[in-house]
Protein backbone atom coordinates (compact mmCIF):
# COMPACT_ATOMS: atom_id res chain seq x y z
CA UNK A 1 0.00 0.00 0.00
CA UNK A 2 2.12 3.14 0.48
CA UNK A 3 3.13 2.97 -3.20
CA UNK A 4 2.94 5.97 -5.42
CA UNK A 5 4.74 8.19 -2.92
CA UNK A 6 1.71 8.50 -0.66
CA UNK A 7 2.44 9.86 2.81
CA UNK A 8 -1.09 9.45 4.15
CA UNK A 9 -1.30 7.82 7.57
CA UNK A 10 -3.76 5.02 8.19
CA UNK A 11 -4.80 4.22 11.75
CA UNK A 12 -6.88 1.39 13.19
CA UNK A 13 -8.87 1.92 16.37
CA UNK A 14 -11.68 0.17 18.26
CA UNK A 15 -14.87 2.13 18.78
CA UNK A 16 -16.44 2.85 22.17
CA UNK A 17 -18.10 -0.60 22.22
CA UNK A 18 -14.79 -2.35 21.45
CA UNK A 19 -16.45 -4.46 18.78
CA UNK A 20 -15.85 -2.53 15.56
CA UNK A 21 -12.53 -1.50 14.08
CA UNK A 22 -12.47 2.09 12.87
CA UNK A 23 -10.12 2.83 10.00
CA UNK A 24 -9.06 6.44 9.65
CA UNK A 25 -7.30 7.99 6.66
CA UNK A 26 -8.57 5.57 4.00
CA UNK A 27 -11.23 6.27 1.40
CA UNK A 28 -13.00 3.09 0.28
CA UNK A 29 -15.28 2.68 -2.71
CA UNK A 30 -18.79 1.33 -2.28
CA UNK A 31 -17.79 -1.94 -3.94
CA UNK A 32 -14.98 -2.46 -1.41
CA UNK A 33 -17.32 -1.74 1.50
CA UNK A 34 -19.94 -4.13 0.08
CA UNK A 35 -17.35 -6.89 -0.31
CA UNK A 36 -16.17 -6.33 3.25
CA UNK A 37 -19.72 -6.80 4.52
CA UNK A 38 -20.03 -10.20 2.85
CA UNK A 39 -19.59 -13.22 5.13
CA UNK A 40 -16.15 -14.65 4.65
CA UNK A 41 -16.16 -17.78 6.77
CA UNK A 42 -13.23 -16.45 8.81
CA UNK A 43 -12.96 -17.15 12.53
CA UNK A 44 -14.54 -14.55 14.81
CA UNK A 45 -14.20 -14.02 18.54
CA UNK A 46 -16.79 -15.57 20.82
CA UNK A 47 -18.40 -12.15 21.41
CA UNK A 48 -19.14 -11.85 17.71
CA UNK A 49 -16.44 -9.19 17.23
CA UNK A 50 -14.15 -9.28 14.22
CA UNK A 51 -10.53 -10.17 14.88
CA UNK A 52 -8.49 -6.97 14.44
CA UNK A 53 -5.70 -8.75 12.59
CA UNK A 54 -8.15 -10.44 10.23
CA UNK A 55 -9.86 -7.15 9.58
CA UNK A 56 -6.57 -5.36 8.96
CA UNK A 57 -5.52 -8.12 6.60
CA UNK A 58 -8.85 -8.01 4.76
CA UNK A 59 -8.72 -4.23 4.44
CA UNK A 60 -5.16 -4.45 3.13
CA UNK A 61 -6.23 -7.06 0.56
CA UNK A 62 -9.23 -4.98 -0.51
CA UNK A 63 -7.09 -1.86 -0.83
CA UNK A 64 -4.56 -3.78 -2.92
CA UNK A 65 -7.34 -5.06 -5.19
CA UNK A 66 -8.78 -1.56 -5.53
CA UNK A 67 -5.35 -0.12 -6.36
CA UNK A 68 -4.78 -2.86 -8.96
CA UNK A 69 -8.16 -2.08 -10.52
CA UNK A 70 -7.36 1.65 -10.67
CA UNK A 71 -3.93 0.93 -12.16
CA UNK A 72 -5.52 -1.32 -14.77
CA UNK A 73 -8.06 1.36 -15.67
CA UNK A 74 -5.32 3.99 -15.91
CA UNK A 75 -3.32 1.72 -18.20
CA UNK A 76 -6.39 1.20 -20.41
CA UNK A 77 -6.89 4.97 -20.63
CA UNK A 78 -3.22 5.50 -21.57
CA UNK A 79 -3.38 2.81 -24.27
CA UNK A 80 -6.64 4.23 -25.61
CA UNK A 81 -5.09 7.70 -25.66
CA UNK A 82 -2.12 6.37 -27.64
CA UNK A 83 -4.48 4.65 -30.07
CA UNK A 84 -6.46 7.86 -30.55
CA UNK A 85 -3.24 9.81 -31.13
CA UNK A 86 -2.12 7.33 -33.80
CA UNK A 87 -5.51 7.53 -35.48
CA UNK A 88 -5.33 11.34 -35.44
CA UNK A 89 -1.86 11.30 -37.00
CA UNK A 90 -2.96 8.81 -39.65
CA UNK A 91 -6.05 10.88 -40.49
CA UNK A 92 -3.94 14.03 -40.81
CA UNK A 93 -1.53 12.22 -43.14
CA UNK A 94 -4.39 11.00 -45.34
CA UNK A 95 -5.91 14.48 -45.40
CA UNK A 96 -2.56 16.04 -46.33
CA UNK A 97 -2.07 13.54 -49.17
CA UNK A 98 -5.59 14.18 -50.46
CA UNK A 99 -5.01 17.94 -50.39
CA UNK A 100 -1.73 17.57 -52.31
CA UNK A 101 -3.42 15.36 -54.93
CA UNK A 102 -6.22 17.90 -55.28
CA UNK A 103 -3.77 20.78 -55.66
CA UNK A 104 -1.81 18.83 -58.29
CA UNK A 105 -5.00 18.06 -60.19
CA UNK A 106 -6.11 21.72 -60.02
CA UNK A 107 -2.70 22.90 -61.24
CA UNK A 108 -2.80 20.39 -64.09
CA UNK A 109 -6.28 21.60 -65.09
CA UNK A 110 -5.14 25.22 -64.90
CA UNK A 111 -2.20 24.45 -67.22
CA UNK A 112 -4.47 22.61 -69.68
CA UNK A 113 -6.81 25.58 -69.74
CA UNK A 114 -3.90 27.92 -70.48
CA UNK A 115 -2.77 25.76 -73.39
CA UNK A 116 -6.18 25.94 -75.06
Q: Rounded to two decimals, what is the model's pTM?
A: 0.44
CA 106 to chain centre: 50
Percent over 90 (pLDDT), the chain: 47
Better pLDDT: 24 or 86: 86
Whether 43 has a pLDDT exceeding 70, the answer reads no
Q: What's the pLDDT at 104? A: 96
Query: What mean pLDDT do residues 3-29 have?
Result: 66
Cβ proximity of 77 and 47 under 8 Å? no
Reply yes or no on whether the pLDDT at 44 is more than 60: no
Instruction: Give the closest residue to 8 by CA, choosing from 63, 52, 54, 72.
Output: 63
pLDDT per residue as tens digits for the range 52-87 = 888 889 899 999 999 999 999 999 999 999 999 999
Please provide residue 101's backbone torsions phi and psi, each rounded to the nearest 5 degrees.
Answer: -60, -40
- In DSSP notation, the chain reads --GGG-----EEEE-TTSSSEEEES----HHHHHHHHS-------TTSPPPHHHHHHHHHHHHHHHHHHHHHHHHHHHHHHHHHHHHHHHHHHHHHHHHHHHHHHHHHHHHHHHH-
- Name the least confident of 20-34, 49-63, 78-92: 20-34
Averaged pLDDT score across all residues of the chain: 81
Amino acid sequence: MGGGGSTRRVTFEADENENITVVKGVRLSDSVIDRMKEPSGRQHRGSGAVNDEDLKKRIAEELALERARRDSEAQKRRLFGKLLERERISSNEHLTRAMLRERAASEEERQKAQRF
